[in-house]
Structure 1
């Protein structure tokens, strides 16, 4: 039997997909997913919670993200054809509704994240070029993203590399400017150890860590690349942990630089906090240059997130886990137009329900459910032995990861829980509608 005669799943080491992603490209992919939009938008909100010690919750958030990353490293290398947290949940629990809700949490988090990024896009960074009200600008931005999505936007690893370089350049610039300000004696290094008065340091760090955690999410999407990575069992853990550590180092340095240059209240009062740092440095960099970098980072994050969300809706509809109407595509463009319209409308609605910090904590809450499921799954699946070698996390790591998820969930406010509960309730209703549709279709004569 020739290679052409074999089942496609037998090729390329057990997959029909081409294994074209090296360890270095995977590292860049993960780094590009983690770096960028979150830190550009949220460092001011973090400063509002923790004062000048912005770097502390960023470091705590990195440590918490690394715990869950260890569970992803084990499951992806153990089941290299798995499609992410929903598939891990299916393997571990065997309950379709649970698996669906894990996937739906990913979807809801993506749409909510796009809404938050739209608000970040329409803030001080955009004001440098165009002075317009924030919410209407966010709505227009999301409509434009939806139109681009419907047109058929395709992202490649090279494009991701370019965008990552743009995003990193802005963050490195902030670090360099912080060093320049400190070197000439204009900065205040004492601020980096100052916490808000009247609040315990522990409470301030935990509250800020919930926001800072948003800056590290994105690494979980790399689980979907497993079938396209060469030697995934060897390179995936290195790329995952390496990218997270790199992002964490950059974030900590940015946090230190921002605190040296500006007081916490000045950072917190700006919707473009890193632009405020660049302006306060007095180096003479045009506002338009840095604002353009920030807008590219935020817009790219929102666009990629909405592409992911609409394709996830389309895929769930194709599997009849969501109503079939959501799988309709444009005849010429072959893009899922109904899914794009629905996700865009939902994102627009979410921009009207809260500010950036509120939406960011909602994203974190939804993803914490996903991470909690994955961390439990890695322990449940320890009894499932496979023949090949794979990364194995020390058992204490998923246990600590579960505890960290519970801790961060405990920090969420009632309004955030309510918003997430409404989204999950909508998901359950859609799931039940899809089941009714499948049942009625199966019972129809001639089908």
Structure 2
């Protein structure tokens, strides 16, 4: 791959990959967990993201290849099954995230234009995203860039409303400091898990390592700056939402930021903001379905899942079988849970991946020096990945008050991965045995 991506472009990619459906759709659900202090779970989620980012920043410096968490697990543990399951968990997290986005699309933002059953709207939306994915990667990326600019503008509108409200004395800033006394630490942890969904995406930027001009120097700076910018935007949006809209109204809405626009008393058309939000949700789904389908395609090319999943359309040159496989799972997932449940499943899967990445960076420090991979420019303080791994496991545990259905859904998805791994190993062994028999006959 050509190394054409500079620090500024990488920074834009990191920020664009984080911003999306999470903040547009889940702000109210976070409020339902903690009360008016919506910003608190976002601060904690940002802290966890920053801790895990230190591990990614160091590992990209050691291994500047486009493989991400699966590569790090492979280098650290040398266990094909572990490597496969990490890659599969990342892929499944993309599908569950797209399913959550589809659910969000069928909510209050769409109702601003037309009243359609949520499931029907979600299916139609996912079909449209699939069509864009099938057209081709270059077209998909162009659409992604446009949607990223639009979704960012929507969040800036909310921040501007917040600044105007503070300047004019509108709203109730004190409400943003109120923590629900009944929430307790379980509510805060549960809110943090949901808020963490909105910060996901920073980990995908490691797949650009091979195309960065100076990955060892530029990646850590762009990664931390991108997370910081996204966190600042989210905190401002969370504070504004709580200041202007009552907590119970936010909690009940699947379009919480639309409620902010409606009560703000500014000359910004709610319908226009609803359209921006729908495009933001669309971008999240598109990014995740592209990632998931290409990851399946890559695994098929490497022979670690059935090779039929690696077939490419002759005309469009897109992995149509992998796309069909991932969208079939997404269509099924839409019926298994609501927006919060699917988003929480995404978080659960990636928390397990992040725990593995944080442990991997510590394990790899004990490995002999690799002359092909010089020392990284950034070295995480040892406590950061250690605390990151611990925090990831805590947030993945039942201590958050997470619904048992989320664990069941994640277990079933990972179970599919185990079955695929075993089937592929069986097929590989049979192929080798057949080849050995043919060789013996000759």
TM-score range, shorter-chain basis?
Answer: over 0.9
Give 4+ residue runs of structure 1 displaced > 6 Å after superposition. none
Aligned match of 1:103: 87
Alpha-carbon distance between aligned partners in 1 of 2:375 and 2:319, rounded to the nearest angstrom: 39
Aligned match of 1:233: 216
SS of 1:112's equivalent in the other structure is helix
Among 143, 149, 156, the alignment partner of 1:172 is 156
Cα distance change on mapping 1:148 and 1:43 into 2, 3 Å: same
Aligned match of 2:320: 337
Q: Which runs of 5+ in 2 are unaligned?
A: none
Is it true that 1:436 corresponds to 2:426 in the alignment?
Answer: yes
Residues 377-435 of structure 1: CA deviation (Å, up to 9, x unaligned): 00000023345341100101011101111110122432211111111111000111111
Superposed CA RMSD in Å reads 1.6
Q: Which runs of 5+ in 1 are unaligned?
A: 1-16
Q: Give runs of aligned pairs for residues 161-310 of structure 1, distance below 5 A.
A: 161-200=145-184, 202-310=185-293
Aligned match of 1:5: none
Moved more, 349-358 or 122-131: 122-131
Aligned match of 1:394: 381
Query: Quick check: 1:28–1:161 contact (8 Å CA) kept in 2?
Result: no
Query: Quick check: 2:36–2:247 contact (8 Å CA) kept in 1?
Result: yes
Is it true that 1:147 corresponds to 2:137 in the alignment?
Answer: no
Question: Shift of residue 331 of structure 1?
Answer: 2.2
Residues 345-372 of structure 1: CA deviation (Å, up to 9, x unaligned): 1111111111111111100110011101
Residues 68-112 of structure 1: CA deviation (Å, up to 9, x unaligned): 000000000111125210010000000000000000000110000
Residues 220-255 of structure 1: CA deviation (Å, up to 9, x unaligned): 111111111011111110000000000000100000
Question: Shift of residue 184 of structure 1?
Answer: 2.7
Query: Quick check: 1:36–1:297 contact (8 Å CA) kept in 2?
Result: yes
Question: Shift of residue 155 of structure 1?
Answer: 5.6
Question: Shift of residue 166 of structure 1?
Answer: 1.5
Alpha-carbon distance between aligned partners in 1 of 2:292 and 2:211, rounded to the nearest angstrom: 21
Among 40, 52, 59, the alignment partner of 1:75 is 59
Moved more, 251-260 or 330-339: 330-339
Question: Shift of residue 159 of structure 1?
Answer: 5.8
Residues matched between the structures, number? 430
Query: Quick check: 1:104–1:427 contact (8 Å CA) kept in 2?
Result: yes
Q: TM-score, normalised by structure 2?
A: 0.94
Question: Shift of residue 161 of structure 1?
Answer: 4.7
Moved more, 28-37 or 332-341: 332-341
Moved more, 176-185 or 390-399: 176-185
Moved more, 139-148 or 252-261: 139-148
